[in-house]
Amino acid sequence: MLGVIDYGGGNIQSVRNALAAMEADFLEINSPQRLSDVSALVFPGQGAFGDSMAALHERGLVEPLRKWLRADRPFFGICIGYQVLFESSEEQPGVEGLGIFPGRVVRFPSDQGLKIPHMGWNHARIVADDVRLWDGLGTDPYFYFVHSYHPAPAQRAIIATTTTYGPVEFASSIQCGQVLATQFHPEKSQENGLRLLGNFVSHHR
């Protein structure tokens, strides 16, 4: 059974719709007690880093999520569900993330002539060693982005895809063990996004 983290943030409905379209059974997780009922997690959403961490604390989910991730159990983080895996964010200095991976979340530079937020379709060049979850997507698929901040992982080995926006190349996804997390929104990325979500669901059924 798949669990979808509901921490009160935005964009949960789009993920519900995508999973329903692929006939995936899932439970919504808004308390630690429900984690025992699922074998894989999807953490979707959009919003501010600090607000998202505060919501996870309020629901008692921070330590259970850390335990889940440190045990290398199946996890798919989307947008803010990607960013909170790191130690901190420039968006809210002083707020600790889950700290599963070393690195911090940074803002696109304002002096490079970039339109911020980065919004719309862009390539994600696959550089992962293990490409099973990327099956059927080629080497440079398009996905939908909407964000002003992105993680800067300290460990290059975990980077699964890179994306170029103007002069900036950033880690648009990571993959480590059974953890996959993306800055782009697969649930809004039509066929490519459904393929990636479907690969994750099929792999962990």
The catalytic position among 147, 150, 176, 187 is: 187
For the domain that residue 136 is a member of, what is the CATH number?
Answer: 3.40.50.880
Among the ranges given (5-14, 99-108, 111-120, 126-135), the one the predictor scored with the smallest mean pLDDT: 5-14
Whether 118 sits among the annotated catalytic residues: the reply is no
Domain limits at 63? 2-203
The catalytic position among 57, 79, 123, 176 is: 79
Whether 176 sits among the annotated catalytic residues: the reply is no
pTM of the model: 0.96
Whether 185 sits among the annotated catalytic residues: the reply is yes
User: Do residues 10 and 45 touch, judged by C-beta distance below 8 A?
Assistant: yes
Domain count, the chain: 1
- Tell me, what's the pLDDT at 10? 66
* 148-205 pLDDT tens trace: 999 999 999 999 999 999 999 999 999 999 999 999 999 999 999 999 999 999 988 7
The catalytic position among 118, 147, 150, 185 is: 185
